Amino acid sequence: MSSRYPHMFKPLDLGFTTLKNRVMMGSMHTNLEETKNWDRVAEFYAERARGGVSLMVTGGIAPNQEGGVFAQAAGLYDQGDVKNHSAITKRVHEADGKIAMQILHAGRYAYSPQCVAPSPIKSPISPFVPAELDAAGVEKQIQDIAETAARAREAGYDGVEIMGSEGYLLNQFLVTHTNHRTDEWGGSYENRMRFPVEVVKRARQAVGEDFIIIYRLSMIDLIPNGSTHEEVVVLARAIERAGATLINTGIGWHEARIPTIATSVPRAAFAWVTKKLMGQVSIPLITSNRINTPEVAEDVLATGCADMVSMARPFLADADFVAKAAKGQAEQIAPCIACNQACLDHTFSGKISSCLVNPRACYETELKFRPAKEPKAIAVVGAGPAGLSAAMTAAECGHSVTLFDQSDQIGGQLNLAKQVPGKEEFHGLVDWFQARIDALPIKTVLGTRVTAGDLDSFDDVIVATGVVPRDPKIEGQNNSNVHSYIDILSGNRRVGERVAVIGAGGIGFDVSEFLVTEQEDSPSTNLPQWLKEWGVADPAEARGGLAVAGGEDAAPVRNVTLLQRKKEKHGKRLGKTTGWIHRAALNKKNVNMIGGVNYERITDEGLEISFGETRENPTLIAADDIILCSGQESERQLANKLLEAGKTVHIIGGADVAAELDAKRAIDQGVRLGLSL
Ligand code: NAP
Ligand code: SF4
């Protein structure tokens, strides 16, 4: 059953309990706990327990008011909370799962004026200056965390994870960057690590021996004055002695300016960091970050990087990840493409997390697959993300589905996205759609442009015909040196060394990235190059793992100017947690970003622009080629014909609304429609 992944499916004996495989679902803050809809929270975890993961960790739960990530963050403060959390553990245990509760004290990262820290130093990602803890305050935090661990046990959890990484309170005590104390909790490393070690010791005393304590240890801080590898080893040994059962890996503080989980980060990019600690302690080590397929997980384990892997977002994408891997159906696992669009971007906007690929994530009690009462004959026109999702969902509910596309391949605009360096994960997404379409009773008719008359025999028609590029109406745009983004990303057009890109939305950024990188050499599939470009070093050689970024390999292959009419910062509307990465990546390649422009005309010499309402400061952007990335409009010709003919038509995806279209909205709309037919 599990012969393809022998290391992944080897049980892990913890002495008092055994984990049935080596896969843990890592902690994710989904904002679900904050809904206080405990049935919904319980179903989220129970569905994943049924999917075969051996151990799950909840989102961060505060041990006290001052430690909450924000003012109303979920906590485990009293017997009422114990009762609420019992609903989760009961359902998980009924599904033969195990679950640990993460205790998260945010310290100076708490978005609250009540926040506390070892020293009163504001973080760059928070507006609040934390109050310095006095001796009694330090003792209170330790006591609160220990008591929370005891309450977690009372609530039926199998363990706790003590959050000691990502720059939260325990991490803040460890490094001089945030700890300027001169008492027994600061100064020497021995003093600075006293707080996390004491926390683990007291938590162990509070919960007894037969209860899992995971300590999440920051193995590479990626901030100035972060820990050295030597200090990490000293801490890990002390944490083991203090009573931890497992050590999990933390990579980078939240304020670090190096991406650690975004899609452009190579897969398993930080497993080597955990490997450095292997053999230094005798308790099992868990590694994490950008592990998203059974193959990668197996490889990480087989090459001795860790005893166990933690994956978090992949369990939003597919609750049955482990069960499908066990059945040898890896191609059926919905892939996490690490986009952050529906998970972290939602969390940081105060919304409930979900998943771009799987809109049911965190909506399990609302979006349910039920057999259709009256199965219908359904035509889906357009095999982009919206059409594919609608077709799959309708077929899963028992409808008879025919999927049409004028192209001879499925995927629509995803096929363009996958050409962009740093977006290689989109290959996996298209492959997964193909595997699902093949596995379901869906008739596919590709390479055919259907007309309204071809669809007469269907009960319902779903129009997912997508978008066409917007006409920016710029003088000279029909010159031979002007191309659409489709020509560029589909590889139909090679361009010269100087390029102007009109439009700095998601596609303008993608096209710029494509133009400045040699296609064979995406850093996202070349770990040494990626580490070098972002300045990640071995923490045994450079404190915190921070080296100087860049180097000769970072030279751009083209001279690109990226323009927009708006005066705002380029990329402001890209993902909340990833916009800065796209901007930083283009800055590293010297892309010239110019805003607040008017497009005057295009000539053989390049693009003429001016600035402001009075069209002052006329400037020529000398360019061999000009690429139009000026947004899209809905493609509705077929929809309009069908509506005129009186057909029942459902219009989804870009054909419905082109503005701000992305795969998240397209897939969500497709799934919801498929369930409602
Ligand atoms: P978009 O995000 O709407 O951007 C269109 C760009 O064209 C804007 O920069 C806009 O800026 C400019 N523009 C609009 N009308 C124009 C006109 N008449 N003349 C000249 N310029 C004009 O569209 P997109 O870049 O095509 O992306 C489509 C969707 O895919 C978006 O929702 C995007 O978020 C998504 N996507 C996301 C990513 C990602 O990484 N998250 C990547 C690719 C695509 P000004 O009006 O200021 O000139
Ligand atoms: Fe992964 Fe994107 Fe889904 Fe988040 S939204 S779980 S990053 S695929």
Q: Is the pLDDT of residue 252 over 80?
A: yes
Q: Is 502 in the pocket of ligand 1 (CB under 6 A)?
A: yes
Atom of ligand 2 nearest to the CA of 292: 1
Mean pLDDT, residues 79-107:
97
Asked if residue 599 is part of any domain, the answer here is yes
626 plus 648 within the same structural domain = no
Residue 117 alpha carbon to ligand 1 centre in Å: 42
Is 113 contained in some domain? yes
Q: Which residue has the tokens 């590889």?
A: 491
**Would the pLDDT of 1 be above 80?**
no
User: Do 121 and 203 sit in the same domain of this protein?
Assistant: yes
Matching residue, tokens 């994956």? 311
Q: Domain of 431: which CATH number?
A: 3.40.50.720
- The CATH number assigned to the domain holding 334 equals 3.20.20.70
Task: Give the tens place of pLDDT for each residue, 496-555.
Answer: 999 999 999 999 999 999 999 866 678 999 999 999 999 999 999 999 999 965 554 557
Per-residue DSSP letters for 104-161? ---GGG-BSTT-EESS----TT-SPPPEEP-HHHHHHHHHHHHHHHHHHHHTT-SEEE
Residue 516 and residue 413 in one domain: no
Q: Are residues 49 and 135 in the same domain?
A: yes
Residue 576 is predicted with a pLDDT of 86
What integer pLDDT is reported at residue 520 of this predicted model? 65
State how far the alpha carbon of 533 is from the alpha carbons of 330, 510, 527, 546, 606, in Å.
32, 18, 10, 12, 31
- What is the DSSP track for 372-428? -SS--EEEEE--SHHHHHHHHHHHHTT-EEEEEESSSSS-TTHHHHTTSTT-THHHH
Asked if residue 131 belongs to a domain, the reply is: yes
pLDDT digits (tens, 9 = 90+) for 257-308: 999 999 999 999 999 999 999 999 999 999 999 999 999 999 999 999 999 9
Contact between 259 and 231 under an 8 Å Cβ cutoff? The reply is no
Residue 3: pLDDT band (50, 70, 90) is: confident
Maximum distance among all Cα pairs of the chain, rounded to whole angstroms: 82
Residue nearest to atom 38 of ligand 1 (CA): 506
* 644 & 618 share domain: no
- Asked if 306 and 401 sit in the same domain, the reply is no
Residues 154-210 have pLDDT tens digits of 999 999 999 999 999 999 999 999 999 999 999 999 999 999 999 999 999 999 999
- Percent of the chain exceeding pLDDT 70 equals 98
503 lines ligand 1 (CB under 6 A): yes
**558 and 458 belong to one structural domain:** no
3 state SS of 580: helix
pLDDT > 60? residue 657: yes
With cut-offs at 50, 70 and 90, classify the pLDDT of residue 337.
Answer: very high
Distance CA 573, CA 561 (A): 19
List 217's β-bridge partners, or say none: 164, 249
Tens digits of per-residue pLDDT, 599-615?
A: 999 999 999 999 999 99
What is the model's pLDDT at position 480?
Answer: 97
Flag whether 5 is in a domain.
Answer: no
- In this structure, are 652 and 622 located in the same domain? no
Ligand 1 atom closest to Cα of residue 597:
48
Residue 556 lies in a domain: yes
| CA 99 / ligand 1 centre spacing (Å) | 42
Which of 599, 616, 632 terminates a domain? The answer is 632
| Structure tokens that stand for 72 in this block | 């109303």
Of the listed ligands, the closest to the CA of 342 is: 2
SS3 627: strand
Q: Are residues 102 and 55 in the same domain?
A: yes
Q: Tell me, using a 6 A CB cutoff, whether residue 508 lines ligand 1.
A: yes
Tell me the residue range of the domain where 340 lies.
Answer: 12-251+282-347
Report helix, strand or coil for 595.
Answer: coil
CB 502 less than 6 A from any atom of ligand 2 = no
Per-residue pLDDT of 201-251, as tens digits, reads 999 999 999 999 999 999 999 999 999 999 999 999 999 999 999 999 999
Is 552 inside a domain boundary?
yes
Q: Answer whether residue 482 shows pLDDT above 90.
A: yes
Distance CA 626, CA 515 (A): 12
Percent of the chain with pLDDT over 90: 93
Q: Judge whether 449 and 406 are in contact, CB under 8 Å.
A: yes
β partners of residue 616: 611
Q: Give the distance (Å) from ligand 2 centre to CA of residue 354.
A: 8
Dihedral sign (CA 404, 407, 410, 411): negative
Inside any domain, residue 353: no
Q: Do 416 and 489 form a contact (C-beta atoms < 8 A)?
A: yes
Beta bridge partners of 561: 500, 592
Q: Ligand 2 centre from 316 Cα, in Å?
A: 7
Average pLDDT over residues 484-500: 94
Among residues 358, 322, 362, 306, which one has the least CA distance to residue 337? 358
Q: What is the CATH number of the domain that holds 622?
A: 3.50.50.60
Residue of 32, 336, 362, 576 to test ligand 2 pocket, by largest number of atoms within 8 Å of CB: 336
Closest ligand (CA of 412): 1
- Ligand with an atom nearest the CA of residue 334: 2
pLDDT the model gives residue 345: 94
Question: 358: closest CA among 342, 376, 375?
Answer: 342
Residue 361 belongs to some domain of the structure: no
Question: For residues 290 and 262, what is the distance between their CA atoms, to the nearest angstrom?
Answer: 8
Of the candidates 473, 482, 464, the residue with the CA atom closest to the CA atom of residue 650: 464
Q: Which amino acid is at 491?
A: G
CB proximity list for 482: less than 8 A, separation 6 or greater: 476, 602, 625, 626, 627, 628
Contact, 641 vs 451, CB < 8 A? yes
Q: Could you write out the DSSP letters of every residue in 255-321?
A: T-SS-SSSTTSPTTTTHHHHHTTTTTSSS-EEE-SS--SHHHHHHHHHTTS-SEEEESTHHHH-TTH
Structural domain tally of the chain?
3
Q: How many CB atoms lie within 10 A of CB 224?
A: 12
340, 388: one domain: no
Q: How far apart are CA 459 and CA 469, in angstroms?
A: 31
Per-residue pLDDT for 590 more than 70? yes
Residue among 418, 361, 344, 351 at smallest CA distance from 385: 418
Q: Distance between CA 648 and CA 635 in Å, rounded? A: 18
Question: In degrees, to the nearest 5, what angle opens at C-alpha 294 toward C-alphas 290 and 295?
Answer: 90
The confidence band for 401, taking pLDDT boundaries of 50, 70 and 90, is very high
| 8 A C-beta contact, residue 440 and residue 674 | no
Are 544 and 448 in the same domain?
Answer: no
Q: Please indicate, yes or no, whether residues 552 and 622 belong to a single structural domain of this protein.
A: yes
